[in-house]
């Protein structure tokens, strides 16, 4: 791996050099336009000890392996976006990585993360639109696993959450980058979570925590009370309830409260143009019916109601 020289980084004209490569401060690196495929950005340039990698400072369509020399403290927003990098090695001296730093790096697969930064400082926005990413190496296997769950894309169809996994799963974020994931299993000794029919719940099985993106036939366990309705159940073809449930009931593929007074969820891909609701239904919202072209409501106020989808009849 070649360490970039001052000649490769800087123009010879001192005025252009200062204006183009050291914007705002002499310790902010702000430019490279070479054609090398494997490079190291030095920490000292022109006798100046560098401190930051500036915005849009290193956008290369040739560099595949990029190493930042120890000494840099900050990576500014969009510093490396739209680059061709496959592998990036960050030093432990880094104290802050701003949002979008590696945004749109379509080939990026591996990142050596600074050991000085903890897991909570690894934001998905840093790696936004990086579809090839496979590994964010933090030096801690458990933190690496958390990064894989929350940030990295994976073709995995099944995933087992180990007993020692200590981090809280975020229902809006965890596994959302795994579009092919069909099954989640939790180690039976895990202190916080349990699993049922491929989905993750709290240990007492009362609250749904994560539903894999590729699950289309959702089975609700009998003890579940909170299943995180609306967007978290997006993409379903069918729903059913385990025998013995006192909280939910499914009629003709539609989910209701157990007493059939409240409409809870209509599967996204349900194959019905017209839905006949039970006479007992009195509690519903129009947005719950956004995927239905029209419906007839019997035995409730108004007797018959119609909802138009996207403005059409």
Structure tokens at 276: 């006949």
Structure confidence at residue 253 (pLDDT)? 85
Structure confidence at residue 243 (pLDDT)? 93
Q: How far apart are the first and last CA of the chain?
A: 63
Q: Are 217 and 238 in contact (CB under 8 A)?
A: yes
Residue with tokens 């050291």: 22
Please state, in angstroms and rounded to a whole number, the distance separating the CA atoms of residues 43 and 49. Answer: 6
Express each pLDDT in 257-282 by its tens digit.
999 988 888 887 776 665 777 888 87
Please state, in angstroms and rounded to a whole number, the distance separating the CA atoms of residues 20 and 302. Answer: 70
Structure tokens at 42: 């030095």
Q: Is 66 exposed, middle or buried (0-12, 13-18, 19+ CB in 10 A)?
A: buried
Low-confidence ranges of the chain (pLDDT < 70): 1-34, 118-121, 124, 153-155, 170-174, 176-177, 228-234, 271-274, 284-313
Superfamily of 1-152 according to CATH: Ribonuclease Inhibitor (3.80.10.10)
Query: Sheet containing 248-251: which strands, arranged edge to edge?
Result: 248-251, 254-257, 263-265
Please state, in angstroms and rounded to a whole number, the distance separating the CA atoms of residues 69 and 93. Answer: 9
Q: Are 83 and 58 in contact (CB under 8 A)?
A: yes
Q: Are 42 and 20 in contact (CB under 8 A)?
A: no
Domain boundaries, the chain: 1-152, 154-215, 218-313
């Amino acid at each position: 791996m070649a360490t970039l020289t001052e000649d490769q980084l800087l123009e010879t004209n001192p005025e252009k050099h200062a204006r183009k490569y050291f914007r705002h401060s002499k310790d902010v690196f702000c430019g490279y336009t070479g054609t090398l495929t494997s490079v190291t950005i030095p920490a000292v340039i022109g006798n100046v000890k560098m401190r930051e990698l500036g915005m849009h400072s290193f956008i290369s369509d040739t560099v595949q392996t990029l190493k930042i020399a120890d000494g840099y403290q900050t990576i500014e927003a969009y510093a490396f976006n739209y680059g061709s990098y496959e592998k990036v090695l960050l030093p432990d001296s880094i104290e802050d990585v701003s949002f979008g730093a590696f945004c749109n790096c379509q080939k990026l697969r591996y990142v050596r993360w600074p050991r000085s930064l903890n897991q909570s400082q690894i934001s998905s926005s840093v790696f936004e639109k990086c579809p090839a990413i496979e590994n964010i190496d933090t030096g801690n296997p458990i933190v690496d696993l958390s990064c894989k769950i929350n940030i990295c894309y994976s073709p995995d169809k099944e995933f087992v959450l180990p007993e020692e996994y200590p981090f809280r799963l975020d229902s809006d974020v965890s596994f959302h980058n795994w579009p092919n994931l069909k099954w989640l299993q939790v180690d039976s000794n895990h202190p916080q979570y349990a699993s049922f029919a491929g989905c993750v719940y709290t240990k007492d099985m009362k609250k749904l925590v994560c539903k894999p993106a590729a699950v289309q036939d959702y089975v609700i366990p009998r003890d579940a009370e909170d299943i995180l309705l609306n967007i978290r159940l997006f993409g379903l073809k069918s729903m059913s309830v385990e025998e013995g449930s006192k909280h939910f009931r499914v009629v003709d593929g539609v989910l209701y409260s157990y007493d059939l007074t409240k409409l809870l969820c209509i599967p996204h891909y349900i194959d019905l143009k017209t839905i006949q609701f039970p006479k007992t239904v009195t509690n519903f919202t129009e947005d719950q019916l956004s995927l239905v072209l029209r419906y007839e409501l019997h035995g409730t106020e108004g007797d018959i109601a119609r909802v138009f989808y996207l403005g059409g009849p």
